[in-house]
């Protein structure tokens, strides 16, 4: 297993490569055997909008293996937080999973992504649908609005987040987001578990995110005329939710999405 080193030629790269900066892993929280949260302190500040992603890389010799990961932290925080899932057959996450606190990774200097909060449409309602790690960009948005409360007051929006997972530990941030749902009148959090036979103590919503989307659109009174929808996570879920939203009358420009991988085309 290759780990990021601290000496010259970091990761086998010339540090004249201006695409990257170093980042030190400062903390880690294991959620399950396949899910974990890390915080990374970049050597230089990376500017980003809530909802965007940063590409993380590790190298071996002159090669860098890199993947984009949505940022869960608020843009005002000095560290970047990532909610990660181990993909055993993947090129990067098996190595990334083994990077200990105190070691370094590579970070692309420029954050990217178009899954940012829609404050230009004039919509008062914003409905976010996610599976597992797909909740990270929406957490960043809610954290940002929460951090602004003291100076700017509550946001002029109603925000709801439907967050689906197989079991409740896979939600990752259920306790924090549920607390925001209790504390912030403008925010509702709906966690849902689909494999209830594996989580018999779960007392919350049950079912897959796509199967609950229309229920909560109607429950909150969200309509195509006054709502922006955001979808992030499993590509099959995204396609299913987009179908629900289309049938409900949502135009494409009112639906924003971020897929975590590209699903194979169905024959």
- Of 55, 74, 108, the residue that ends a domain is 108
In a domain, 266, yes or no: no
pLDDT score, position 6: 31
Whether 246 and 147 share a structural domain? yes
pLDDT by residue (tens digit) across 160-201?
999 999 999 999 999 999 999 999 999 999 999 999 999 999
* Neighbouring residues of 221: CB distance < 8 A, sequence distance ≥ 6: none
Whether 160 and 223 share a structural domain? yes
Whether 48 and 20 share a structural domain? yes
Whether 214 and 240 share a structural domain? yes
Q: Which domain holds residue 88?
A: 10-108
Q: What angle do CA 201, 207, 212 make, to 5 degrees?
A: 135
pLDDT score, position 18: 79
pLDDT score, position 28: 97
* Neighbouring residues of 156: CB distance < 8 A, sequence distance ≥ 6: 124
Specify the CATH number for the domain of residue 20: 2.40.30.10
Measured distance CA(115)–CA(78) in Å, rounded? 21
Whether 227 and 103 share a structural domain? no
Measured distance CA(199)–CA(168) in Å, rounded? 7
pLDDT by residue (tens digit) across 72-81?
999 999 999 9
Q: Under a CB-based contact definition with an 8 Å cutoff, are residues 205 and 191 in contact?
A: yes
Cα 187 to Cα 36, 177, 179, 193, 212, distances in angstroms: 25, 9, 10, 20, 18
pLDDT score, position 16: 46
In a domain, 119, yes or no: no
- Give how many domains the chain has, as a whole number: 2
pLDDT by residue (tens digit) across 25-79?
999 999 999 999 999 999 999 999 999 999 999 986 778 999 999 999 999 999 9
Specify the CATH number for the domain of residue 185: 3.40.50.80
Predicted structure pTM score: 0.90
């Amino acid at each position: 297993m290759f780990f990021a080193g601290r000496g010259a030629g970091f990761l086998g790269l010339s540090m004249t490569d201006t695409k990257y900066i170093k980042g030190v892993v400062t903390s880690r929280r294991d959620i399950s055997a396949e899910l974990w949260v890390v915080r990374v302190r970049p050597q230089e500040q990376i500017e980003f909008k809530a909802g965007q992603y940063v590409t993380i890389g590790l190298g071996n010799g002159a090669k860098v293996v890199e993947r984009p990961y949505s940022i869960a932290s608020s843009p005002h925080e000095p560290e970047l937080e990532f909610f990660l899932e181990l993909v055993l057959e993947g090129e990067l996450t098996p190595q990334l999973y083994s990077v200990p606190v105190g070691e370094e990774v590579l970070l692309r200097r420029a954050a990217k992504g178009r899954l940012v909060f829609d404050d230009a449409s004039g919509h008062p309602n914003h409905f976010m649908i996610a599976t597992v790690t797909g909740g990270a960009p929406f957490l960043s948005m809610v954290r940002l609005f929460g951090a602004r409360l003291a100076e700017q007051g509550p946001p002029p929006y109603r925000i709801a987040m439907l967050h689906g997972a197989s079991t409740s530990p896979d939600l990752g941030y259920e306790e924090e987001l549920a607390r925001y749902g209790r504390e912030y009148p403008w925010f509702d959090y709906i966690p849902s578990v689909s494999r209830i036979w594996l989580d018999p103590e779960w007392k919350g919503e049950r079912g897959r995110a796509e199967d609950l989307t229309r229920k909560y659109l109607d429950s909150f009174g969200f309509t195509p005329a006054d709502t922006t929808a955001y979808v992030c996570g499993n590509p099959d879920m995204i396609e299913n939710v987009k179908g629900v939203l289309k049938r409900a009358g949502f135009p494409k420009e009112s639906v924003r999405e971020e897929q975590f991988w590209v699903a194979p085309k169905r024959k």
